[in-house]
Structure formats: structure tokens, C-alpha cells
Structure 1
Amino acid sequence: MTDVYQLSNRLYIIDTYDLKRKGRTASYVLKEDELTIIETSASPSVPHLLNGLSELGLSPDDIKNIIVTHIHLDHAGGAGLLLKHCPNAKVIVHPKGAKHLADPSRLIKGAKAVYGEKFEQLFDPILPIPEDRMVIKHHGETLKLSDSCTLTFYDTPGHSRHHFSIYDSKSKGIFSGDTLGIYYNELKKEKIDFILPSTSPNQFDPDEMLQSTSFIENLDVKEIYFSHFGVCHDPETVYSSIRKWMPIFLQAGEAGFQSITNNDFNAAVQAVEKELKNRISTYLTNIGVPENHKVYEILSVDCQVCAMGLVDYLTKKK
């Protein structure tokens, strides 16, 4: 099963079914003179990506650039596997992420610590990327895809320190990775633009996330292309959502953290997760989202991961 969505005559989304969920993680295809992919998701998603390219009449041989916004496995875990199918492509990565793509042992160790027995099902294999097939892009550097399209890379920490966002000169949109949070496409049918910060471990920093939000806001972008999942045509809603929910997330983190009398990380995560779920579900109920809405399935996953990041952040802070 592969779903492909056309955003314009040169920009497409391929649903990569991360976690085997529809509408979870997007790979973006830019049909320019240099055929370019942004985000690969994890390795189990690569067959969906290849099928999507086939549906678009594109060959992996024609791909010149594979861009990952950051090196978390749901964004870049499949880059090494995809590269094996793309003999003429190079992987473009943030300078702080390149060494981990070349030697993914720490990424694998960290993922196994979080996901345990589910690791192989969710992420395997994670293949190293040869250094001669990587291109590092620093803040403000560009990549020309055609005479009418140039991508500009901006360092946007907050979710992680190895994160850049990519501005597309043609659409005046930005591929935001996780810097501007998660866009819950499940609520689009209700005409609700619902965005929450993504505070996953272990480099989450709320101040940097807010600074990156302001930086992107000052670029005056017209559209935001989320890796999770889809396009928001109202950037102001995105910025205001991050600013609204960040203090709520931190308050939930503090409340849950303080309810634990010892240094039990797992107990703290469970307490923070409960606080997050309560505050988010109260908000959604108040705007008319029923308790049995399918958005709660993925929110349950995200609240757990966000709680881990909040506890990690507060532990380091204290």
C-alpha cells in the first residue's frame, strides 16, 4: 500500500507508513532538474518510498539528492538503505549529524534502549552511509535544483542540535522536520489545524525551539511542510501553537516530575505522560473532538516520547 499526494506540479508527498500508520511520516519529492527527496523515514518505509516513486514514473537512478532534516531514525533511519537503490544520489545532512550517519552505532544503541524488542520491527536495518556520498550543509548554505528553485538550509535547533530546516525558493515554503512540531493531519477533516511541540529525547531545548520558531517566522514563509504530516497553509497558526503549548508541556513536565519521590526515570515518564494526556484531551474535548477520535491513537505514542524528552530535559536542568 502506497499513497502519493500531489501538492503542485513539482512537489509530492509519499506516505511512508512509519510505525505502519497512514499519515504518520512524509517523504517529499521535488521534481526539479535535480530530482530530490526530503526525509526517508525508517528502513521499513523504504519500499513505500520506492513504490511511490514508481507511481510517479520516477526511477531511483534519477535521484540526485536525499535530504534528511535530522538524524532521528523516523527521519533518516532508512537513508542508508535507500542510498543502495540510488546510485547517483548523495545524502545531505546537518554538520552535527554526519558522523552518526557514517557510523550509526550510537543511533542503534539509543533506539534499542528506548524501543527494546520492537527495535528490529521498527528500524532494522540501519546502514552506514559512506562519507564520500554525504554532503554537509551549514547554516545559510544553498543547493540549486534548477534555474527557478534553490533550497536554503537553516540551523534550527530545539528538537535536536543536528537539525536544519529547508526553505524552498519556488513555493516559499519550508520543510520543518520536527522543529515546528507535529501537525495532526487526522483532524484536518474537522478543519482543525492542531500542532504540538515535539519534545523527544535527548537534545530537546525549549528556549532553542522558541528561538527557531521566531527565526522561521521572520523568513515570512507561505507554507510549512511537516514531516509528521502534511502541509499547513497558515504559518501563523503553527507559530502561535508552539508558543501556546510549550509552557503547557513544561508545566506538565514539572507537575509529573515533582510527583515522583525518587529518581525513577520510568515512573517520572509515566507521570509526565499522564499529565500531558490530560491537558491535551481536555483541550480537544473543549473544541469538540470526541474521545473516540482516531487522533488519540497517535497522540498516545507521541505523549510517551514527549514525556521522555521532558523528563530528560528537567533531569539535566536540575
Structure 2
Amino acid sequence: MGQPVDLGFGISLIDLYDLQTAQRTGAYVFHEEEVTIIETSASPSIPHLLKGLEAISIDLHDVKNIIVTHIHLDHAGGAGMLLQHCPNARVFVHPKGMRHLADPSRLIAGAKAVYGQSFDALFDPIVPIPEDRLIVKEDGETLQIGKNRTLTFLHTPGHANHHFSIYDQTSNGIFTGDTAGVFYPQLLSYGVELYLPSTSPNQFDPEAMRTSIERFMTLRPDRIYFGHFGMSTHTQVVWNQLHYWLPLFVQIGYDVVNEQMNLSFTEKTEAVSNRLFDHIQTFLRKQQVPDDADVYKILQLDLQVCAMGLVDYIEKQKR
């Protein structure tokens, strides 16, 4: 297991090894009197989170706040299990996500529909959270942690309707979950930065995503803390890439669906995924990234899920 990374401003990043893969999902830990954790990943990641907290000398009794940007299982699936280890903690969630953490049956059914027989290995168990330990945060509401730190919650749909992001004034940074896309730090060793939108089903909305990204930009942050994975200080590069890739993703989705209307949903998804992959591989080849780079394993999985969300969105629009 990699050691937690000190990001400065009293924040550490713990690698949670989602899908047993390094630099896939991470938890952000605030070293305040009221220890606060943003993101938990899925339940199989909780042992990594506990080891990471031990490595930075965090007593689990001191954990007071657990925040999940949204309730997709790779961000919040482990919250119930983590809570069992943190007797003094509460879980903060978007208003539209609260009931699903208290009763995760619909979350489980939705994930099984996407991941099929892989569900147990990826996500099991999903532990319900008692309602008296769940706290909802409305748009613009704040949370004071410690004497000098305030977190502000921003409702930021686009990836999901039950998504908020967290602005930290102390670091002038935003924890964007999946709304500002996915960062692939595996490519940094090639001198390449890649930020792609996350268009997974079934609440992807490109207009809402654009609006949320514009909202991030108006805050002029110095740092973006991604759910997948890590921190970027090159905020203008992030915005530029999202403005390039998001409309391209949507256009590819429409092109495939319009060209191949008689295909099944699964066949359309595969066709969209393949076309997205070809575009991104062409981009990376121009940056001298070899075709056997490890990042392609993650990209293929991400693009399959992105393609599902694109086809789902487009077919809803057509209906």
C-alpha cells in the first residue's frame, strides 16, 4: 500500500485502491480538531482507508465528519462500513441521496444492473446508515471544522442529480467528485495531463454539467481535488480539456445512435465506447504515450460506463 500523500493546507490523500488499482479512488482527510474525510469509495476500500488513517496517526474516535460527494458506490458505498469504525462521526450527503444511504436497496439494484456478476467483488457489503447519523447539506450551506476552516457545499449536477461539491476556502480548492471529470495521473510519467468528463448512467446531463463547471470556474480555485484521482493545480488545463472533450463525447454518442438506430442498447454502447477509445488513443499517441501503457485498462472500463450514460441520455432525449 502506498503511503498517504501530504497535499498541504492540512489535507492528506489516501489511495483507496478501488478495483484493486492504485490511483483510482482516494479519500481526502482534513487534520483538524474535528477530523473530516471526503469520499470513502466502496466497502472493499475501507481496509485501505483505515490503514491510511493509522499511518497519519488519526484516532478513529476523532473522526467527526464523513462527506460523500454523491451516492454512487465507488464514492459512498463504503460509508456505512467506515461509520462502524468511527463512533463519533456523521455522514454528510446531498438531499437527494440521503434516503439511499439509509436504505441502499435501489443503489444495489442499479449497480447490479450495470456490473452484473462483478457486483459482489466490487461493492459488497453495502451497510445501511442510521438516519440519525445522516446530515443533509443544501446548496450554499457550510460546515465549520476546527477554529479556522469552513467548507461550503455547492449543488453541482451533471454527473448525477444527487451530487454536491465542497469548496475549501483555506486551500482555495474544490472537491469536485465526478462533476469536473476524471484525472488520470498515471499519464504524468509521460508528461501528459488528461482530464475526461464522467458521463455514466443514468442521470448524466451535459447542460447541467457545463453549468456546474462554469460555477467552479467563477470561484477561481487554485486546486481541484478529484474523486478519481488526486489533486491538480493546473485548473485552466482542466477547464480547457473538459470544454473540448464534453461536447465531443456527446457528439460521438449522437453520431453512433443516429447511424445505428436498429442496434440494441448494449451494441450501441459498445460502438460508442470503441469510438471514444479511438479518439483518446489518437490524442495520447500524439503525446508519445505507448499503446501498452497501463492507463488503457482504466480508460477502457471508464469509457464503457461513459458510453452507457451517453446512450441512455440520448435515447431519453429522443423519447
Post-superposition Cα deviations, 1:176-207, rounded to whole Å, max 9, x if no partner, equal 00000000011112232210000000000000
User: In 2, Cα distance between the equivalents of 1:238 and 1:219?
Assistant: 14
What amino acid maps onto 1:66 in structure 2? I
Identity %: 54
Q: Matches of residues 114-129 of structure 1 in structure 2 within 5 Å?
A: 114-129=114-129
Matched position secondary structure for 1:267: helix
| Aligned residue in 1 for 2:257 | 257
Amino acid at match of 2:112: K
Residue 136 of structure 2 corresponds to residue 136 of structure 1: yes
Residue pairs, 1:86-101, within 5 angstroms = 86-101=86-101
1: distance between equivalents of 2:231 and 2:147? Answer: 25
Counterpart code for 1:104: P
CA distance in 1, matches of 2:43, 2:133: 18
Write out per-residue CA displacement over residues 204-233 of structure 1, whole angstroms, 9 at most, x where no aligned residue: 000010100000100111100011001110
Structure 1 runs, 4 residues or longer, greater than 3 Å off? none
Counterpart-to-counterpart distance in 2, 1:213 and 1:9: 24
Q: TM-score, normalised by structure 2?
A: 0.98
- Whether the aligned pair in 2 keeps the contact of 1:2 and 1:51 (CA below 8 Å) is no
Q: Distance in 2 between matches of 1:194 and 1:115?
A: 25
Pairing of 1:37-76 with structure 2 (within 5 A): 37-76=37-76
Amino acid at match of 1:115: Y
Q: Count matched residues.
A: 318
Q: Distance in 2 between matches of 1:220 and 1:22?
A: 30
Deviation at residue 147 of structure 1 after TM alignment: 2.1
* Aligned residue number for residue 21 of structure 2: 21
2:74, 2:103 → 1: CA distance? 17
Gaps of 5+ in 1: none
The SS at the match of 2:41 is coil
In 2, the alpha carbon distance for the partners of 1:170 and 1:141 equals 16
Task: For 2:49 and 2:262, locate their aligned partners in 1 and report how far apart those are by CA, in whole Å.
Answer: 45
CA displacement 1:23-73 (0-9 Å, x = unmatched):
000100000121000000000000000000011111211100000000000
Which residue in 2 is equivalent to 1:183?
A: 183
Asked whether the equivalents of residues 78 and 126 of structure 1 are also in contact (C-alpha less than 8 Å), the reply is: yes
Instruction: Determine whether 1:315 maps to 2:315.
Output: yes
Q: Hey, what does 2:301 align to over in structure 1? A: 301
TM, length-normalised to structure 1: 0.98
Q: What aligned pairs does 1:159-178 form with structure 2 within 5 A after superposition? A: 159-178=159-178
Q: Is the 8 A contact 2:3 2:55 kept in 1?
A: no
Give the stretch that moved more between structures: 307-316 or 255-264.
Answer: 255-264
TM-superposed CA distance for 1:153, in Å, is 0.3
1:9: how far off? Answer: 5.5
Look up the match of 2:82: 82
* In 2: Cα distance, 1:141 partner to 1:309 partner: 30
The residue identity in structure 2 corresponding to 1:19 is: L
Deviation by residue 1:128-152 (Cα, 9 ceiling, x = unmatched): 1111001100000000012221000
1:9 and 1:311 map into 2 onto residues whose CA distance is 41
- What is the Cα deviation at residue 263 of structure 1? 5.2
- The residue type equivalent to 2:270 in the other structure is Q
Q: What are the Cα deviations for residues 221-270 of structure 1, in whole angstroms up to 9, with x where unaligned?
A: 11000110011101111111111101110121122223424251101101
When structure 1 is superposed on structure 2, of 188-197 and 118-127 the one drifting more is 188-197
| Inter-CA distance 169–261: structure 2 relative to 1 (3 Å threshold) | closer
Query: For residues 153-302 of structure 1, what are the structure 2 equivalents within 5 Å?
Result: 153-262=153-262, 264-302=264-302
Describe the shift of the 1:2–1:82 C-alpha distance in structure 2 as closer, same or farther (beyond 3 A). farther
AA aligned opposite 1:292 = D
Indicate if the aligned counterparts of 1:259 and 1:271 stay in contact, CA closer than 8 A. Answer: no
Q: Distance in 2 between matches of 1:64 and 1:263?
A: 50
Q: Which amino acid aligns with 1:190?
A: Y
Task: Please give the root-mean-square deviation of Cα atoms over the aligned residues, in Å.
Answer: 1.0
Contact 2:68 2:75 in 1 (8 A): yes
The 8 Å contact of residues 93 and 137 in structure 1, kept in 2 or not, is answered as: yes
Query: C-alpha distance in 1, partners of 2:2/2:292?
Result: 26
What residue in structure 1 maps to residue 30 of structure 2? 30
Tell me, in whole angstroms, the C-alpha distance in 1 between the residues paired with 2:73 and 2:311. Answer: 21
